[in-house]
């Protein structure tokens, strides 16, 4: 490769069912290629029966496959990957009545293409960046409440408790086509990134995310964020992926990188506090369940 000094990154990811739900419809995954490019993905499925689980898994697989084919343009690849996932889920949903209208969010972060980071997303799974100790959400939710806030029709502080907070304007699989939001930005040494489903950001506030992201290596940050979401209620499935770009000032992430980047396209199981719901608890789909915006809105 032309890059004389490859940027070292340590990554980790994990998904947890939470404290209330009976099933985990979230997934996460990490993919890398022989050019040292690395892709992190979080997806949060929705749909009755097994639809949500199938949709998010199909998204993860399809995005990983399209990344694995190889590419020159990261933006084009990410857009193609999420659009490919959309088509595959939509087809699968049409082929089986019980899976009709299944869908999923997806957020994907790509590192290792020069000194840049690229992020693509659909839905309200988020990407955050911590730079120089400051946390910033770098994706904008494709949600009804976010759009209301943007149009100055709803106060930002009211969005999180709004009864329509789970209504998405975009998701993968629900329609034959989807618009994918993609950004590409310069990377700086020491940048830290976090992808998560709403089960994390709905339970853990920005100050708490900041505090954990600032002090932890990637596996510890993933563990501690999920642990805190569960201690704060764990009302939804919770999924987190973290990537830490090595600070040029020190070589301290090197050791972490070696321990954290073992083959890990499937998330490992970390020790978690005992779940409060569990056996016999029937999670109602209507409780805090993700809903889709009616198709007539477009
Ligand atoms: Ca969720």
Digit-coded pLDDT (tens) for 40-95: 999 999 987 789 999 999 999 999 999 999 999 999 999 999 999 999 999 999 99
**What's the Rg (C-alpha) of the chain?**
18
CA of 171 to the centre of ligand 1 (A): 12
d(CA 263, CA 267): 10
Whether residue 172 contacts residue 150, with contact meaning beta carbons closer than 8 Å, is answered with no
CA of 247 to the centre of ligand 1 (A): 33
pLDDT-derived band at 7 (thresholds 50, 70, 90) equals confident
Predicted confidence at residue 160, as pLDDT, reads 82
CA of 77 to the centre of ligand 1 (A): 26
Comparing 24-28, 45-49, 130-134, 233-237, the range with the smallest average pLDDT is 45-49
Mean pLDDT of 93-117: 94
CA of 134 to the centre of ligand 1 (A): 25
CA of 198 to the centre of ligand 1 (A): 5
The crossing angle, in degrees rounded to 10, of helices 51-69 and 74-95 is: 140
Residue 113: strand pairing partners: 116
Long-range contacts of 270-275 (CB under 8 A, 24+ apart): 270/14, 270/222, 270/223, 270/226, 272/16, 272/226, 272/227, 272/230, 273/227, 273/230, 273/231, 275/17, 275/18, 275/19, 275/234
pTM of the model: 0.83
CA of 115 to the centre of ligand 1 (A): 32
Those residues whose beta carbon sits under 5 angstroms from the ion ligand 1 are 44, 197-199, 236
CA of 200 to the centre of ligand 1 (A): 8
Mean pLDDT of 145-157: 94
Q: Show the tokens assigned to 49.
A: 């029966």
Digit-coded pLDDT (tens) for 226-236: 999 999 999 99
Digit-coded pLDDT (tens) for 270-281: 333 333 333 222
CA of 210 to the centre of ligand 1 (A): 21
Does residue 289 register a pLDDT over 90?
no
Comparing 122-126, 179-183, 292-296, the range with the smallest average pLDDT is 292-296
Predicted confidence at residue 5, as pLDDT, reads 59
d(CA 29, CA 99): 23
Predicted confidence at residue 109, as pLDDT, reads 98
DSSP secondary structure letters along 28-42:
EEEEE-TTS-EEEEE
For the chain, what percent of residues have pLDDT higher than 90?
75
CA of 159 to the centre of ligand 1 (A): 16
Comparing 75-79, 162-166, 174-178, the range with the smallest average pLDDT is 162-166
């Amino acid at each position: 490769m032309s890059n004389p000094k490859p940027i070292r990154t340590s990554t980790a990811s994990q998904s947890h069912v939470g404290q209330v739900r009976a099933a985990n419809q979230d997934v996460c995954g990490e993919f890398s290629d022989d050019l040292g490019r690395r892709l992190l993905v979080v997806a949060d499925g929705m749909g009755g029966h097994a639809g949500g689980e199938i949709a998010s898994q199909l998204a993860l697989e399809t995005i990983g496959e399209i990344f694995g084919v190889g590419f020159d343009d990261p933006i084009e690849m990410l857009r193609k990957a999420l659009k490919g996932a959309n088509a595959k889920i939509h087809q699968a949903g049409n082929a089986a009545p019980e899976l009709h209208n299944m869908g999923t969010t997806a957020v994907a972060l790509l590192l290792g293409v020069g000194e840049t980071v690229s992020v693509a997303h659909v839905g309200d799974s988020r990407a955050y960046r911590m730079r120089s100790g400051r946390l910033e959400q770098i994706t904008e939710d494709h949600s009804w409440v976010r759009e209301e806030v943007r149009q100055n029709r709803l106060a930002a502080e009211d969005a999180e408790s709004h009864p329509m907070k789970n209504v998405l304007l975009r998701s993968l699989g629900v329609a034959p086509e989807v618009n994918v939001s993609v950004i590409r930005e310069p990377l700086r040494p020491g940048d830290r990134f976090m992808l998560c489903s709403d089960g994390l950001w709905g339970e853990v506030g920005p100050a708490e995310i900041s505090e954990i992201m600032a002090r932890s290596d990637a596996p510890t940050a993933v563990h501690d964020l999920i642990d805190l979401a569960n201690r704060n209620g764990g009302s939804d499935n919770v999924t987190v992926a973290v990537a830490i770009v090595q600070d040029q000032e020190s070589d301290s992430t090197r050791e972490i990188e070696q321990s954290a980047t073992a083959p890990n396209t499937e998330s490992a199981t970390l020790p978690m506090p005992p779940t409060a719901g569990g056996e016999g608890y029937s999670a109602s789909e209507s409780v805090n369940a993700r809903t889709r915006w009616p198709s007539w809105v477009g």
